[in-house]
A and B are shown apart, each in its own frame.
Chain A
Amino acid sequence: MSILSLLKKEGHWSKRNVLVLVFLLVALPTFFATTSVMFQEVVPREVPVGVVPADERVSEEDLRIVEGGVAVFSDPQVIDSEEKALEALNRERVYGIVTVPANITESGVDAQFGLTVNGAIVPFQQPSEVIVGLMQFQLDDILAADISAERTVIGQENTLPEYLFPSFLMVVVIFFAFTYVPYNLRREKDVMDRLKVETSLESVVAAKLIFYTAVMVAPIFIFHVTASYYGYRIDSFAPGAVAVLLLTFLLLSVLSMTIMVLMRFSATGQFVNVVLMLGMIALSALTFPVGFFSAIRTTIARSLPTHYSMIMTRSVMLKDLQLTGFTDWLGAFLGLIVLALAVLKLAIIYHRRTV
């Protein structure tokens, strides 16, 4: 009863603020979606790659030698099986897999290295072509065998606009969660006493979370329509991707609301949310793969939930992967949402006890 009534109120509110909502939910997504084509020429450099044995004949020492050899042009990580290496590739812990053949230290033997990359990770397409050449040159120089190298692309090769598409969508989700949601909650200050008497702050925030999480389908759909218009070869409205985006929005909205409650619905709370938003967008490695940055930025990115939701969204939209491949991440994400809701509840209790 209480939630339904407040949902009804959100409907009225949205009707009265339709211009702001159209800007945030339609104009902004359209802007980001269409401007994605401007990034066609941007190509980042330096990437982590996995070094994996082609078969059991490859020794630890062979792997170490190759690791040292490819360290000249990448950040290699030895992985003991191809299966684990592919998982690391899907989860963007590495952006290429260097497959090490046997007998590389024996002279006169032909040894063909492989470099496997995912076609969806567009920023690594050109570097990977260069790396194959460098591998052949560098490894042939230090190894006794006759070295050749071949590049293999998994999945379809996307364009940079296609690659950036889910990134921009994620930016819209983060933007809405840290700007409009806190703004809207702050406006409740005008009627907060009455709401506290007639219902509860918990019901107010619950209604907002339900309403605006549902509303977020609109920009996702706008992106989908834009993707179709441009003929992008991406699954832009895949249920898995939509689910991850909505869960991300839910998590971030809970976070922004918690800040507003703790800051007593003040303008300072809104400002803190904007700062958090900018940090989240800048540090989550949404546009360029995480391994392309410094170690400290990589560590920060890998500690942010938005980094993982970005990879999951990209994987479902671009790599044709299923969310079932990310059940551990998804479980952790849901756990984080529950934790965030618990913190929000505590913030409300604190607010109630300190007014």
Chain B
Amino acid sequence: MTGKFTSRQDETGDQGRIETTDLTKEYGRITAVDDVSISIGCGEYHCLLGPNGSGKSTLLRLLLELTRPTSGSVSVPPVAIGCGFQQPNFYPGLTVRENIDVFASLVGADDWDWNQTVVDELRLNRALDRKAADLSGGYGRKLDLALALIKEPDFLFLDEPLGAMDDVSKTRFLEFLGEYPGTIVVATHQVTAFAPYLDRVTVMHRGSVVFDDLIEEIDLTGYESLQQYYVDAVLAREGVDPETPPPTEAPAEQRADSK
């Protein structure tokens, strides 16, 4: 992998920033994204971190213009965008190879050396002639990521990209992403694996931004990890003392007695 890419900042140049201003998205009475203003710099490896239902995926969909904001604005530079979806998006009726072929053709990705690199890095070779509908969750995720990467996007948006992926594939893919020269925005609730590569973290909770800081500015003193830091921050926002141990399940005999 060494030498595949030059530095992220050098490669991307100044292509503008992703900006959201007072961004709000409501679904009926539910506010999925609430007055979010963030800025993602060119070449940045940015993590949108938060528990389930915190609005990360909705924010990504707003950035991709897959849903319209209720209020506020989104600004994404007009550059090549690749996206890996929470629910992998591909043609289940086609094989892996046909999916790659169709989308490569659709986005004008005619660099077949690169496409082969993507297939290799995602360890998809063995599944190329399998029907996508028959793929395991892990392979489905890899195909989705391959389709996101084949056009060598300047901006890469990934929603829970490691879901269902095996540890070997995860490690290789994380290294690959770490060297990827474009801007990367990852939405996840498990930041540990990404932590060594990140430039910035935006923690979300119930649609709002809890904090949005450069990694180097986060003081992890007293915390086991960035994951722990984020969990405590979210719990504190909920008014729960992080020191209080979470309620544990009662022993089986105790449950039986209570009946």
Residues on A lying within 8 angstroms of B by beta carbon are 1-2, 4-6, 8-9, 12-13, 16-17, 187, 190-194, 196-199, 352-353, 355
Q: A8-B102, A8-B105, A355-B68 are in contact. Are A194 and B89 (CB under 8 A)?
A: yes
Instruction: Tell me whether B102 and A194 are in contact (CB under 8 A).
Output: no
The interface residues of chain A lying within 8 Å CB-to-CB of B48 are none
Residues on B lying within 8 angstroms of A by beta carbon are 61, 64, 66-68, 81, 83, 85, 89-94, 98, 101-103, 105-108, 131, 147
What would be 5 A-B contacts, judged by CB atoms less than 8 Å apart?
Answer: A8-B102, A187-B92, A194-B85, A196-B66, A198-B103
Distance in Å: Cβ of A192 to nearest Cβ of chain B: 8
Q: A12-B98, A187-B93 are in contact. Are A198 and B107 (CB under 8 A)?
A: yes
Distance in Å: Cβ of B103 to nearest Cβ of chain A: 7
Instruction: Tell me whether A194 and B93 are in contact (CB under 8 A).
Output: no
Binding site of B, secondary structure by majority: helix, strand, loop or mixed? loop
Chain A residue nearest to B91 in the complex (CB): A191
The total number of A-B Cβ pairs within 8 Å is 62
Instruction: Tell me whether A13 and B91 are in contact (CB under 8 A).
Output: yes
User: What 14 additional pairs, Cβ within 8 angstroms, besides A191-B91, A193-B66?
Assistant: A5-B105, A5-B106, A8-B105, A12-B101, A13-B91, A17-B93, A190-B89, A193-B83, A193-B85, A194-B83, A194-B85, A194-B89, A196-B66, A198-B107
- Report the bound CA distance from A187 to B98 in whole Å: 16
- Report the bound CA distance from A272 to B225 in whole Å: 54
Distance in Å: Cβ of B162 to nearest Cβ of chain A: 19
- Report the bound CA distance from A192 to B106 in whole Å: 14
Instruction: Tell me whether B83 and A197 are in contact (CB under 8 A).
Output: yes
The interface residues of chain B lying within 8 Å CB-to-CB of A13 are 91, 93-94
The interface residues of chain B lying within 8 Å CB-to-CB of A198 are 103, 106-107
Residue of A2, A17, A190 with most partner-chain B CB within 10 A = A190
Instruction: Tell me whether A355 and B66 are in contact (CB under 8 A).
Output: yes
- Report the bound CA distance from A223 to B102 in whole Å: 33
- Report the bound CA distance from A87 to B98 in whole Å: 54
- Report the bound CA distance from A193 to B93 in whole Å: 17
The interface residues of chain B lying within 8 Å CB-to-CB of A199 are 106
Q: Choose among B61, B81, B89 the residue that contacts A191 (Cβ–Cβ < 8 A).
A: B89
Residue of A1, A2, A13, A16 with most partner-chain B CB within 10 A = A16
Chain A residue nearest to B147 in the complex (CB): A194
- Report the bound CA distance from A14 to B90 in whole Å: 16
The interface residues of chain A lying within 8 Å CB-to-CB of B131 are 16
Q: A197-B81, A353-B68, A355-B66 are in contact. Are A12 and B102 (CB under 8 A)?
A: yes
Q: A5-B102, A8-B102, A193-B85 are in contact. Are A16 and B94 (CB under 8 A)?
A: yes
Distance in Å: Cβ of A8 to nearest Cβ of chain B: 6
Q: Choose among B68, B81, B89, B103 the residue that contacts A193 (Cβ–Cβ < 8 A).
A: B89
- Report the bound CA distance from A192 to B89 in whole Å: 7
The interface residues of chain A lying within 8 Å CB-to-CB of B92 are 187, 190
The interface residues of chain B lying within 8 Å CB-to-CB of A192 are 89
Instruction: Tell me whether A190 and B107 are in contact (CB under 8 A).
Output: no
Distance in Å: Cβ of A47 to nearest Cβ of chain B: 50
Distance in Å: Cβ of A202 to nearest Cβ of chain B: 14
Distance in Å: Cβ of B152 to nearest Cβ of chain A: 14
- Report the bound CA distance from A214 to B125 in whole Å: 35
Q: Choose among A16, A194, A196 the residue that contacts B103 (Cβ–Cβ < 8 A).
A: A194
The interface residues of chain B lying within 8 Å CB-to-CB of A197 are 64, 66, 81, 83
- Report the bound CA distance from A191 to B90 in whole Å: 5
Q: A13-B91, A190-B92, A197-B81 are in contact. Are A355 and B67 (CB under 8 A)?
A: yes
Distance in Å: Cβ of A180 to nearest Cβ of chain B: 14
Q: Which 7 A-B pairs have the closest CB atoms?
A: A194-B89, A5-B105, A5-B106, A9-B102, A16-B93, A12-B98, A191-B89
Distance in Å: Cβ of A289 to nearest Cβ of chain B: 43
The interface residues of chain A lying within 8 Å CB-to-CB of B89 are 190-194
- Report the bound CA distance from A12 to B94 in whole Å: 7
Chain B residue nearest to A17 in the complex (CB): B93
The interface residues of chain A lying within 8 Å CB-to-CB of B91 are 9, 12-13, 190-191
Distance in Å: Cβ of B50 to nearest Cβ of chain A: 20
Distance in Å: Cβ of B19 to nearest Cβ of chain A: 19
Chain A residue nearest to B133 in the complex (CB): A190
Chain A residue nearest to B64 in the complex (CB): A197
The interface residues of chain A lying within 8 Å CB-to-CB of B102 are 5, 8-9, 12
- Report the bound CA distance from A194 to B61 in whole Å: 11
Residue of B64, B98, B101 with most partner-chain A CB within 10 A = B98
- Report the bound CA distance from A8 to B147 in whole Å: 17
Chain A residue nearest to B144 in the complex (CB): A194
Instruction: Tell me whether A190 and B90 are in contact (CB under 8 A).
Output: yes
- Report the bound CA distance from A5 to B109 in whole Å: 11
Instruction: Tell me whether B106 and A6 are in contact (CB under 8 A).
Output: yes
